[in-house]
Chain A
Amino acid sequence: MTFEKVAKIIAEARDLDISEIKMDTSFEDMELDSLDVIEVVMAIEEAFGINIDTEGDLRTVEDLVKLVDNLK
């Protein structure tokens, strides 16, 4: 369930087509630079009420989903 929510947040935060966001999609695939990734991380933090401090290690949607599940 986390994946669906995360994908929706990414799509809304950066104006992307949600159908193109899969578990193994990387931020690079989505053409998101480091500043875009921070916007996504901030939106995720707000949506799940968590604090992410390892944003530098995030590469794919799956990384983000796992992190959210661990921190929830």
Chain B
Amino acid sequence: MNTIICSMLGIKYPIIQGGMAWVANASLAGSVSNAGGLGIIAAANAPVDFVREEIRKTREITNRPFGVNIMLMSPFVDDIARLVIEEKVKILTTGAGLPSKYMKDWIEAGIKVVPVVPSCGIAKKMERSGASAVIAEGGEAGGHIGELSTMALVPQVCDAVDIPVIAAGGIGDGRGLAAALMLGAAGVQMGTRFLVAKECTIHQTYKDKIVAAKDIDTMTTGKRLGHPVRALKTPFTRAFLKNENDCFKTLEELEAFGAGALRKAVMEGDERAGCFMAGQSCGLVKKEQTAKEIIEEVIDQAKITLGGVEKWVR
């Protein structure tokens, strides 16, 4: 399966791994890239030295293309923006804001920039700023999310821009990839499915919870803070929602309650205080597999699904 995204990014399959904070490290990114997808290292809130180390480690694991996800709300974002140029990273995805002010420098350095966008307006703005493609991510995704659903957002973004669109949010298997192509996308980004990759180094409790999770097992918190987050329903997320609905709790108290919760889930598997971010596709994730097995299964299933399209139009 070869789409415009494959030739643009130098990858075999049109599957990009989500830049999940605290999760997407060299081990996962390198394995996804080796399997023919595009592995992504999440810079998240991490300091420059940490990200540099992950980039170098990824190069030891793979000689195929990989990217870095820049989290634009990071306190270190200016330094990270320079680091990726120094380290000659070829592909960037961005999240949690607009990368407009860095675009010129990145493009001059020959970097392909692929921002995650939640609306047509932002997609157009990114196209104007020189983005190579955009990732249209619906609210079915895990972590920080936008309002629109993937089904509605992707075709509208495809109409709004002339650059390739990658669909994200709610895609967990080959049927999702096939559907994304039907909506006009040139590929998909998957996060939740890769949480349980064997090469993903998150706490085993996190993986077990994802495999056990069903369709209704995620919820959204943080709307009051202006940046909603989708995560598994746990004592933590339920307590967060209760605090959020308590009008006597200030925004500062809410922020403080959520601080560090993702790290506690990823590193310690802390079921009480950890925030296990996951998308609605968690119910599609049935077992741990290697990144290669995941990617090949998704591609094979997408081909079968697309090959069967005729039966609906006869």
Chain A: residues with CB nearer than 8 A to chain B?
A: 33-35, 38-39, 41-42, 51-56
Given A38-B98, A51-B128, A54-B100, A33 and B226 touching (CB < 8 A)? yes
A35-B129 in contact given A53-B100, A54-B100, A55-B98 (Cβ < 8 Å): no
Could you say which residues of chain B place their CB within 8 Å of the CB of A53? 100-101, 103-104, 129
Q: Is B121 an interface residue (CB 8 A)?
A: yes
Is B6 an interface residue, CB under 8 A from the partner?
no
CA distance A2 to B226 in the complex (A): 30
B201 within 8 A of A: no
Secondary structure dominating the interface of A: helix
Is there contact, CB below 8 Å, between A35 and B125?
Answer: no
In the assembled complex, the CB of A36 is this many whole angstroms from the nearest CB of chain B, namely 9
Instruction: Say if the beta carbon of B118 comes within 8 Å of chain A.
Output: yes
11 CB-based A-B contacts, threshold 8 Å = A34-B226, A35-B118, A35-B122, A38-B121, A39-B121, A42-B125, A51-B128, A53-B100, A54-B101, A55-B100, A55-B125
**Which residues on the A side are within 8 Å of B101 (C-beta)?**
53-54, 56
Closest beta carbon of chain B to A20's beta carbon, Å: 22
Chain B residues lying within 8 Å of A42, measured Cβ to Cβ, are: 121, 124-125
Taken together as a complex, chains A and B put the C-alpha atoms of A22 and B18 apart, in Å, by 42
- Check B121 against A56 for contact (C-beta < 8 Å): no
Q: Please list the residues of chain B having a beta carbon within 8 angstroms of any beta carbon in chain A.
A: 72, 97-98, 100-101, 103-104, 118-119, 121-122, 124-125, 128-129, 146-147, 226
Let me know if B226 and A38 touch, CB within 8 A: no
| CB-based nearest B residue for A13 | B121
How many CB-defined contacts (below 8 Å) exist between A and B? 35
Q: Which residue of A lies closest to B101 (CB)?
A: A53
Interchain nearest-CB distance for B295 vs A (Å): 32
* Residue in B closest to A53 when the chains form the complex, CB atoms: B100
Which of A33, A41, A54 makes the CB contact (< 8 A) with B125?
A41
Residues on the A chain within 8 Å of B72, using CB: 56
Docked Cα-Cα span, A42 to B121, in Å, equals 7
Closest to B227 in A: A34
CB distance from B94 to the nearest CB of A (A): 12
Name the B residues within 8 Å of A33 (CB-CB). Answer: 226
- Enumerate chain A residues within 8 angstroms of B104, measured Cβ to Cβ: 53
Closest to A57 in B: B101
Residues on A with beta carbons closer than 8 Å to the beta carbon of B122 = 35, 38
Q: Which residue of A lies closest to B126 (CB)?
A: A38
Complex A-B, nearest 7 residue pairs according to Cβ-Cβ distance, in ascending order: A53-B100, A38-B121, A39-B121, A35-B119, A53-B101, A38-B122, A42-B121
User: Smallest CB-CB separation from B128: which chain A residue?
Assistant: A51
A56, B97: Cβ atoms under 8 Å? yes
| Nearest CB of chain A from residue B75's CB, rounded to whole Å | 14
How far, in whole Å, are A52 and B129 apart by their CA atoms in the complex?
10
Residues in A whose Cβ lies below 8 Å from that of B128: 51
> What's the Cα separation between A54 and B101 when bound, in Å?
6
Given contacts A38-B122, A51-B128, 5 further A-B contacts (CB under 8 A): A35-B119, A35-B122, A35-B147, A53-B104, A54-B101
Q: Decide: A38 near B125, CB < 8 A? Known: A33-B226, A53-B103.
A: yes
Q: Name the A residues within 8 Å of B100 (CB-CB).
A: 52-56
**Minimum C-beta distance from B93 to chain A (A):** 18
